Amino acid sequence: MEKQSFVVSVTGSAGNIGSLLLFEIPKLGIFETNQRVELRLFDLPGTQAYQEGLVLELEDAFPTQVSSIKILEESAENFRGTDLLIMLSGVPRATGQERKDLIGANVSLFKRMALMVNETAKPDLRVLIVANPCCTNAFVFSKHAPNISRSNIHALLRLDFNRALSYISHHPSVRPFNSSFEGLRIFGNHSKSVVVDFSEASVLKDGVRIPVTELVSIEDLKDIQEKVRERGMEIIHGRGKSAGSSAAQAIVDHINDWYKGSSKVVAVGTYFEELAGIKAGVWLGLPVNCHGRGDINTNFEPENIPEEILKDIKTSIEELKLEKRVALRCLEERGE
């Protein structure tokens, strides 16, 4: 017997990431046997014709895996029944901007969407926030969607994780052993303050686990962190728009691990109350173990984080707290 479809709603579905991501969703490893996916596409009215074209292509690409594809207007009713909501819509970053410069442009949108989704949300709805600044957007969304458990709202930090993984995997001293690499940890904001921590990273060399810090100089590791921090802007400079395919891949990785689990520590932007004695109360990137079915737990002991890394994490948390204050002030000034 055919199972009830798994409903995935995507906001910003006609955009830079959306038009690529839609073709990855039916291939996700999260559906049950005999379960098909229902896609709901949300974007601006001006994108209607483009979205109609996308629907035709999706139908041709996935004749049996998709039960239905609908182009819809944003409303509480149209989000009803959603199992997974992927939020891509928002003004993107342009050359010379920091992600936090988008708070003013995107804060009202996230509040409006939250109020809508909250009204009809299934108790186990999961929300992945990608539009920037993703951690602060997650805070705004959650504040206005109290029916959705905070633990079911994630921000995408997987891009930073994948970027750092790519850099370290190609480092000449790690490259020969990179298939056994593990232990990369990402902390903090998806911004220029993101912290890339290799203190627990290791590779298998001649059957023995060797810390990456013994193979790679501290200068090279710091350089990787700097490159990860700049990578998004480097892509914008090159393409004239922000990351598309790599962002879609990071979303796929995040979702697969969230639902199916992962044997390795990965990075998730999640709510955290307090870290190393600092009151956080924000969404931030943390190293986590994913056990499947949404069950995740953080994988670090603050007392084991090296002092210098901890200092950087504190800086990133302060930045997130400032972004949160700016977002709240924006809403207040607009009377929202």
Count of alpha carbons within 13 angstroms of residue 158, beta-carbon side: 21
Complex with ligand LMR: residue 91 or 328, whichever CB lies closer: 91
Complex with ligand LMR: residue 72 or 326, whichever CB lies closer: 326
Which 92-111 residues touch ligand LMR, going by CB under 6 A?
93, 99
Angle at 281 between CA 275 and CA 287, to 5 degrees: 45
Least CB distance to ligand LMR at residue 99 (A): 5
Least CB distance to ligand LMR at residue 237 (A): 11
Least CB distance to ligand LMR at residue 284 (A): 15
Rg, Å, the chain Cα set: 20
Least CB distance to ligand LMR at residue 93 (A): 3
Q: What is the DSSP letter of 188?
A: B
Which 146-185 residues touch ligand LMR, going by CB under 6 A?
159
Contact residues for 161 (Cβ-Cβ < 8 A; gap 6+)? 184, 186, 250, 266, 267, 285
Cα–Cα dist 103/91, whole Å: 9
Which 231-250 residues touch ligand LMR, going by CB under 6 A?
232, 235, 242-243, 247
Positive or negative, the CA dihedral 305, 310, 316, 322 is positive
- What is the total count of residues that contact ligand LMR (CB under 6 A)? 9
Residue whose CB is nearest to ligand LMR in the complex, by number: 232
Residue 289 backbone zone (phi > 0: left; psi -120 to 50: alpha; other: beta): beta
Please report whether residue 16 would count as binding ligand LMR according to CB under 6 A. no
Least CB distance to ligand LMR at residue 137 (A): 11
Q: Which residue has the tokens 């629907």?
A: 55
Per-residue contact flags (x/-) with ligand LMR for residues 215 to 234, judged by CB under 6 A: -----------------x--
Does 190 participate in catalysis according to the annotation? yes
> Environment class of residue 34 by beta-carbon count within 10 Å: exposed (0-12), middle (13-18) or buried (19+)?
exposed
Complex with ligand LMR: residue 129 or 243, whichever CB lies closer: 243
Please report whether residue 87 would count as binding ligand LMR according to CB under 6 A. no
Residue 95 to residues 72, 100, 101, 326, Cα–Cα distance (Å):
32, 13, 11, 22
Complex with ligand LMR: residue 31 or 110, whichever CB lies closer: 110
Exactly one of 190, 237, 254, 291 is catalytic; name it: 190
Q: Given the rule CB under 6 A, which residues bind ligand LMR?
A: 93, 99, 132, 159, 232, 235, 242-243, 247
Q: What residues are annotated to the active site?
A: 190
